[in-house]
Amino acid sequence: MINPHGSTTLNPLIVRDQQRCEQLVAEAQQLPELLLNSAAAANVVMLGAGYFNPLTGFMNLDDALSCAENMHTSDGLFWPVPIINLCATAAEIPSAGKVALRDPNVVGHPVIAIMDVDRVEPVSREQLEFMAVKIFATDDLEHPGVATFMSLGSQLVSGTIEVLNLSYFQSDFPDTFQTAYEIRAEIAQRGWEKVVAFQTRNPMHRAHEELCHMAMKRLDADGVIVHMLLGRLKPGDIPADVRNDCIRKMVEVYFPKNSVMVSGYGFDMLYAGPREAVLHAIFRQNMGATHLIVGRDHAGVGEYYGAFAAQDIFSESVPKGALEIEIFCADHTAYSKKLGRVVMMNEVDDHQKDDFILLSGTAVREMLAKGQLPPPEFSRPEVAQILMGYYQQ
């Protein structure tokens, strides 16, 4: 199986020994506390689940600035996005020693991790803006990722962590949420060697479905993992439970048995385009995928990134040998009225725009809200019915 990023074995930070976990929970009651923001809590979940291997906790300011500037930590580890814990105030946090990190996303704010604090550092507005521009390619506060990042606070708390639980993801999505080590175990159990990962934060329409089929066929892959984001999204995006229902129905009806794993991970979407695509590749390598589909405007939002910027970064900015996972580059896919099937648009030179069935997200939402099914060439009727029920509520 493919190696994890940065090591030969996966090292998730979740405490799996029950006795040790209970000891830490008891110890946490006597420690100073820090209520995390959702972004930092999502980082804890990803660290605990092994997706952010080989990191051992939250980066300090030097590492954060280095990652933002050149996609390497100060000691040379390739990493595209700072994994940091920003907060508004750190008055109660010791500059050294342990602190209990509390979960903002669960009622009662239970302790989610214990941090061995290495540093508490102020971050200037200029440093935050520098990181934002490098990560998101803009400092425009209309960008949802920038707006969130710039609002997190100006105190950076770094150090190693021991993760006690994985927040609400295991309880809310018991059949879908999986850790990186659980996915690795299932890949091994299935006997898969060549494994394609498909990233999604949306329900999968016909074009996404066919893209997975294309990648599997062209790569001669053993299977595909539809790996959906289960954390926070921007307003207007489809909730995770609805997405989950749509994807499972599509896989049940339109894929061969035992060819697809439907899985999910606990992270808040960054909308960071190219940089987030590289982060996606790292944690898909950590979960055992050998290939990642990167399509048009991967992890993008609005008009902030070029259509294929998330593909170009792998050839232009990712050093050779930095990643073992390979990228399957895809163009926009759509149903061709000429050919009667879904195609990659850049592979049919004799087509004009009117030869494809193309619908905007707004148009589809309006149709569903009115109880109208989109054309079957665009969306499978079984999927559209689930979405219609959501929009009509």
Tell me the pLDDT tens digit for each residue of 338-381.
899 899 888 888 998 888 988 887 888 888 888 888 988 889 99
- Positive or negative CA dihedral for 12, 52, 302, 316? negative
192 belongs to a structural domain: yes
Task: Based on the fold, state whether residues 251 and 375 are members of the same structural domain.
Answer: yes
Report the distance separating Cα 307 and Cα 315, nearest Å: 15
Nearest to 57 by CA among 119, 9, 103, 8: 119
Instruction: Rounding to the nearest 10 degrees, give the CA dihedral for residues 39, 43, 44, 50.
Output: 160
Q: Which two tokens stand for residue 305?
A: 């990134």
What's the Cα-to-Cα distance from 65 to each of 17, 44, 132, 135, 216, rounded to whole Å?
35, 20, 10, 10, 38
Do 75 and 207 have their domain in common?
A: no
Please check whether residues 175 and 161 belong to one and the same domain: no
Report pLDDT for 365.
85
349, part of any domain: yes
Name the more confident of 392 and 235: 392
Average pLDDT for 200-209:
88
pLDDT of residue 142: 96
Residue 256 pLDDT > 80: yes
**Residues 144 and 217 occupy one common structural domain:** no
C-alpha distances in angstroms, 294 versus 60, 279, 332, 389? 30, 12, 10, 30
CA distance 292 to 41: 25
What local confidence, expressed as pLDDT, does residue 90 receive? 83
Contact status, residue 387 vs residue 378, Cβ threshold 8 Å: no
122-134: burial string, b at 16+ Cβ within 10 Å, e else: ebeeebbebbbeb
Give CA separation, 200 vs 101, 106, 229, 233, 238, in Å.
29, 24, 6, 12, 11
Determine, yes or no, domain membership for 41: yes
Residue 3 inside a domain? The answer is no
Residue that finishes a domain, picked among 167, 195, 227: 167
Place of tokens 């990233």: 199
What are the tokens at 332? 């926009």
**pLDDT tens across 12-48, in order?**
999 999 999 999 999 999 999 999 999 999 999 999 9
Tens digits of per-residue pLDDT, 296-333?
A: 889 999 999 999 999 999 999 999 999 999 999 998 88
Q: What is the mean pLDDT of the chain?
A: 94
pLDDT at 234 over 80: no
Cβ contacts of 29 within 8 Å, gap of 6 or more: 100
Give the mean model confidence (pLDDT) for residues 227-244. Answer: 85
Domain end: 115, 133, 167, which one?
167
Question: What type of residue is 336?
Answer: S
Lowest model confidence (mean pLDDT) among 54-68, 105-119, 133-147, 231-245: 231-245
203 and 346 in a single domain? The answer is yes
Residue 277 sits in a domain of what CATH number? 3.40.50.620
Q: Say whether both 25 and 115 belong to one domain.
A: yes
DSSP string computed for 17-45: -HHHHHHHHHHHTTS-EEE--HHHHHHHH
Query: Do 70 and 23 have their domain in common?
Result: yes
pLDDT of 202 strictly over 90:
no
Show which of 116, 146, 167 is a domain's final residue. Answer: 167
Domain count, the chain: 2
| Residues 161, 305 within the same domain | no
Tell me whether residue 203 is in a domain.
yes
Residues designated as active site: 201-202
Banded pLDDT at 231 (limits 50, 70, 90): confident
Residue 377 vs residue 133, higher pLDDT: 133
Secondary structure (3-state) at 306: coil
The predicted model scores a pTM of 0.94
What's the CATH code of the domain at 134? 3.10.400.10
Q: Looking at the structure, do residues 156 and 187 belong to the same domain, yes or no?
A: no
Is 294 domain-assigned?
Answer: yes
Tokens of 282: 């790292």
- Looking at 91-100, 123-132, 286-295, which range is the least confident one? 91-100
Task: Determine phi and psi for 221, rounding to 5 degrees.
Answer: -80, 155
**What are the beta bridge partners of residue 200?**
228
The half-sphere exposure of 361 on its side-chain side, counting CA atoms within 13 A, is 8
Whether residue 81 is found in the same domain as residue 218: no
The reply to whether 39 and 184 lie within a common domain is no
Question: Is there a domain that residue 194 lies in?
Answer: yes
Please tell me the predicted confidence (pLDDT) of residue 181: 97
pLDDT range class, residue 201, cuts 50, 70, 90: confident
Residue 209 predicted with pLDDT over 80: yes
CA separation, residue 72 to residues 81, 302, 322 (Å): 9, 28, 10
**Domain limits for position 307:** 171-265+271-392
Query: In this structure, is residue 339 part of a structural domain?
Result: yes
Residues 138, 218 within the same domain: no
Tokens of 66: 């280095």
DSSP designation for 232: -
CA distance 214 to 262: 18
Q: For residue range 48-103, list pLDDT tens digits in order.
A: 999 999 999 999 999 999 999 999 999 999 999 999 999 998 888 877 799 999 99
